[in-house]
A and B are shown apart, each in its own frame.
Chain A
């Protein structure tokens, strides 16, 4: 058990290191100079060179990488090339915003997907189950940004029920915060719910064919009760895996949805930083996202061990 956890931890750290090298390398080959963007059209080459020196962009790449990575380990994210402001507080602000979106979307997706998926499985031979299956198939194929655009067209512009976008910190105006949250969270959750529901369905179908369910049925329990009493725990394992994997998709979806709904989260921050060649900011944000995905999948791995006693043996 302990060995398994340590191995997983080792893999986590190695992945983090490898991705930091990749992220840094990508920034190094990105054309365009932050100094040129800051100084704008008409800047002289000398002025650009001076500013690049000031940023340390003329140092050899390994030196720059070392400076960045040691800074990260000290929790020092550096200063933005473009705004000259510390990056850490900016990222913290934006991270909170994205976290709200992603977590609310995940919770909403689960609340919809678990009962819906179970229902689809239990009724997979009936018309209602077929209809639900088809609907979820449609849901899977609608990208979040399209859902967002449609939702805005109907509920914000058409009916005027909800704001078309924007963001208000919950502490400042809870009512407005919730109103502005509904549409973006719905557009993110829609596709997630559809994906998850299909996983729940197949997972539950799998479990329903197991011997212990047949035993439970033989004891006179209805399919649903047998399932709830004996099957759901086992059915949850593949679903939890998918949940971890889906986090990455959610984060990517959030980037797009933030743009559609004008939400100042990590996603829109990332796009802005790339456009302005605010390289350090890009590296920091991407690294944070990568770390988030890796850490979550690490946690999911550990949860396995908790949920499924069969995995605890030293296999």
Chain B
């Protein structure tokens, strides 16, 4: 019998052997030793670090693929921008040493650093910058290419100087240049963006084993301060439990984004550090204003009054996160606390619903298959049912089914998703055709005044816009997703706030 069984096994075994012989040798995803060398995060070292993340990029080309996972890896690490944001949200020099703005605020002149090379060895010149800006308008396919629309022309003034002319003043354009739209590519090494990205950043792309990890190695010719870690491995986990286990079993050193805040108790502070800061991810409870019952402002207000935000946050996201009341995170200059516009008041919610004649109305809350939505959806349902709604919930697979049903076809009454793009208030509430269907006659004027005015006017107008959304109950803002990082105690330089599109790896070190 065993002989015959061996026959079966050997049939399969033969193919296995051939498979084993040509087993591809992927990149070195060796995890670093857990014991710190104690050399401090001063100069560059030969050490490596492994970071666990949840969303693996679908490709490495963010010009043709949307999805926050791609710039998370690349922006600030592989690719750099002319200007960048610091941790407080201020715009500071990047590849441009300095820039000047003309009095009419339509012409920007950037002076490039003279000593920058791409990891392919080419020198960065004004031509690359002009080419990169033009590519956004001509070759990019994803929707955010529209952020380059204000540019009427980009030209080379000297080897290290670029002049960009806008068709009208735009404050948001300069800010958007800190995002992936402003990434500077080498015009001679941009033919394989999806598999071999080439940039000027502190790290160079090394290998990518799909479904497992991406490895970056230090760019030894980097123009700025060289990072401490020679190798950074980004490992991707679909499952929050597997991610937690990986840190506890020393497979990784850092959990980049905690997916289940209630699990933080597994990580005693004697061995681990927990970092909590802010993000740009407003968890929006959207209400479909294009149809009954939410085309009635009183019904929308009833939702906002009926939800006890503090209790909700404590119940479904372990109290981590911030209550905001509108579409502005605290790191934007026009942030103000708008949670008091419609404070929690069940009696008032019931009364508004009665006035609108909608008590007992059945509404559909369609939740994407994302951790915070699955966790907070039932809480929202029970709170709304206490004030007189009847709520039916269902789950739509994210992204595909949610995008089609809620986003494209607006087939929903209530939904819940975190809008993570920086400064996306105009996107989500500035267009009546957008899935939120917010329309208010004052909105367009405010947004235009904000974009074309002085920085002071911008701040004032954006404050008004944010307040308008809250007053008009354009949506409810459940909370701002926290930036939650758990890491080995000896890892230093982890970013407190995740307010840029990239996960900055260059500041990491080990004490």
Residues of A within 8 A of B (CB): 30-33, 36-45, 47, 50-51, 82-85, 90, 93-96, 99-100, 103, 106-107, 110, 114, 149, 152, 156-157, 160, 162-173, 232-233, 235-236, 239-240, 243, 259-265, 268-269, 271-272, 275-278, 296, 299-300, 303, 306-307
Q: Are B400 and A33 in contact (CB under 8 A)?
A: yes
Are A264 and B59 closer than 8 Å at their CB atoms?
Answer: no
Q: Which residue of B lies closest to A50 (CB)?
A: B141
- Provide the B25-39 mask, 1 if CB < 8 A to any CB of A, else 0: 110111000000000
User: Quick check: B28 and A172 within 8 Å, CB to CB?
Assistant: yes
Q: Which residue of A lies closest to B56 (CB)?
A: A272
Q: Given the interface contacts A32-B400, A268-B211, does A240 sit within 8 Å of B143 by beta carbon? A: no
Cβ of B143 and Cβ of A47 under 8 Å apart? yes
**Cα–Cα distance between A42 and B407 once the two chains are bound (Å):** 9
Q: A38-B66, A82-B65, A269-B211 are in contact. Are A240 and B23 (CB under 8 A)?
A: no
Closest CB of chain A to B247's CB: distance in Å? 9
- B 1-35 contacts with A by CB, 8 A: 1-2, 4-5, 7-9, 11-13, 15-16, 19-20, 23-26, 28-30
Which of B24, B56, B400 is A277 in contact with, Cβ under 8 Å? B400
B275 CB-CB contact with A under 8 Å: no
Asked if residues A38 and B23 are in contact (CB atoms below 8 Å), the reply is no
Q: Kindly list chain A residues whose C-beta atoms are within 8 Å of the C-beta of B137.
A: none
Decide yes or no whether B159 CB sits under 8 A from chain A. no
Contact of A164 among B23, B25, B251 (CB under 8 A): B251
Report if B58 contacts A (CB, 8 A). yes
Is B291 an interface residue, CB under 8 A from the partner?
no
Known: A236-B5, A299-B11, A307-B4. 13 other contacts (CB 8 A): A36-B399, A36-B403, A37-B400, A38-B65, A43-B143, A96-B20, A162-B249, A164-B248, A168-B29, A171-B20, A172-B25, A240-B4, A240-B8
**A37 touching B399 by the CB < 8 A rule?**
yes
Pick from B1, B7, B211, B427: contact of A94, CB under 8 Å: B211
Query: A157 touching B245 by the CB < 8 A rule?
Result: yes
Residue of A nearest to B400 (CB): A32
For chain B residues 167-209, which have a beta carbon within 8 Å of chain A?
194-195, 209
Q: Which residues of A contact B427 (CB under 8 A)?
A: 42
Contact A90 B210 (CB under 8 A): yes
Determine which of B1, B235, B403 lies in contact with A114 in the assembled complex, contact meaning CB atoms within 8 Å: B1
Residue from B5, B28, B65, B236 within 8 A of A110 (CB atoms): B5
User: Within the assembled complex, what's the spacing in Å between the Cα atoms of A50 and B5?
Assistant: 54
Which residues of B210-259 have CB atoms within 8 Å of chain A's CB atoms? 210-212, 235-239, 241-242, 245-246, 248-251
Docked-complex contact B59 and A106, CB < 8 angstroms: no
| Contacts known (A40-B142, A170-B20, A262-B237); A156 close to B249, Cβ less than 8 A | yes
29 A-B residue pairs with CB within 8 Å: A31-B401, A31-B405, A33-B404, A37-B400, A38-B64, A39-B65, A40-B143, A41-B407, A41-B419, A42-B427, A51-B141, A85-B195, A94-B210, A100-B20, A103-B13, A110-B9, A114-B1, A152-B245, A156-B248, A160-B249, A163-B251, A167-B212, A232-B1, A264-B210, A264-B211, A272-B211, A276-B399, A277-B400, A299-B11
Task: Determine the main DSSP class of A at the interface with B.
Answer: helix
Interface range on chain B (Cβ under 8 Å from partner): 35 or more
How many angstroms between the C-alpha atoms of A160 and B246 in the bound complex? 11
B121: Cβ under 8 A from any A Cβ: no
> Of residues A32, A172, A233, A262, which shows the largest number of chain B Cβ atoms within 10 Å of its Cβ?
A262
Instruction: Determine whether the beta carbon of A157 is less than 8 Å from that of B248.
Output: yes
Name the CB-closest residue of A to B12.
Answer: A103
Q: How far is the CB of B475 from chain A (nearest CB, A)?
A: 15
- Identify which of A114, A163, A272 contacts B2 (C-beta below 8 A): A114
Say yes or no: B400 contacts A169, CB within 8 Å.
no
Is A114's CB under 8 angstroms from B61's CB?
Answer: no
B408 in contact (CB, < 8 A):
yes
Residues of A within 8 A of B29 (CB): 166, 168
Closest to A32 in B: B400
Interface string of B323-341 (1 = CB under 8 A from A): 0000000000000000000
Give the chain A neighbours of B7 by CB distance below 8 A: 303, 306
Q: Are A44 and B143 in contact (CB under 8 A)?
A: yes
Say whether B59 contacts A83, CB under 8 Å: yes
Asked if B97 is an interface residue, CB under 8 A from chain A, the answer is no
Measured in the bound complex, the distance between the Cα atoms of B61 and A277 in whole Å is 18
A157-B245, A262-B246 known; A40-B12 Cβ under 8 A: no
User: Is residue B397 contacting chain A, with contact meaning CB distance below 8 A?
Assistant: yes
Residues of chain B contacted by A269 (CB below 8 angstroms): 210-211
Report A56 CB to chain B, min CB distance, Å. 17
Chain B residues in 8 Å Cβ range of A90: 210
Which of A41, A51, A173 lies at the interface centre, i.e. has the most chain B CB atoms within 10 A of its CB?
A41
**Shortest Cβ distance from A313 into chain B, in angstroms?**
20
Are B212 and A157 in touch, CB under 8 angstroms?
Answer: no
Q: Does B144 count as interface, using CB distance less than 8 angstroms?
A: yes
Q: Mark B142-182, 1 if CB is under 8 A from A, else 0.
A: 11100000000000000000000000000000000000000
Give A200 to B16 CA distance when docked, in angstroms. 26
Report yes or no: B19 in contact with A99, Cβ–Cβ below 8 A: yes
- Decide: B58 and A31 in contact? CB cutoff 8 A: no
Contacting residues, chain B, for A272 (C-beta < 8 A): 56, 211, 238
Within 8 A of A (CB), among B360-407: 397, 399-401, 403-405, 407
User: What are the 5 tightest A-B residue pairs by CB atom distance, in nearest-first order?
Assistant: A40-B66, A32-B400, A264-B211, A232-B1, A164-B245
B67 an interface residue at 8 Å Cβ cutoff? yes
Q: Contacts of A261 on B, CB cut-off 8 Å?
A: 242
Give the distance in Å from the alpha carbon of A239 to the alpha carbon of B7 in the complex.
Answer: 13
Contact of B23 among A50, A171, A299, A303 (CB under 8 A): A171
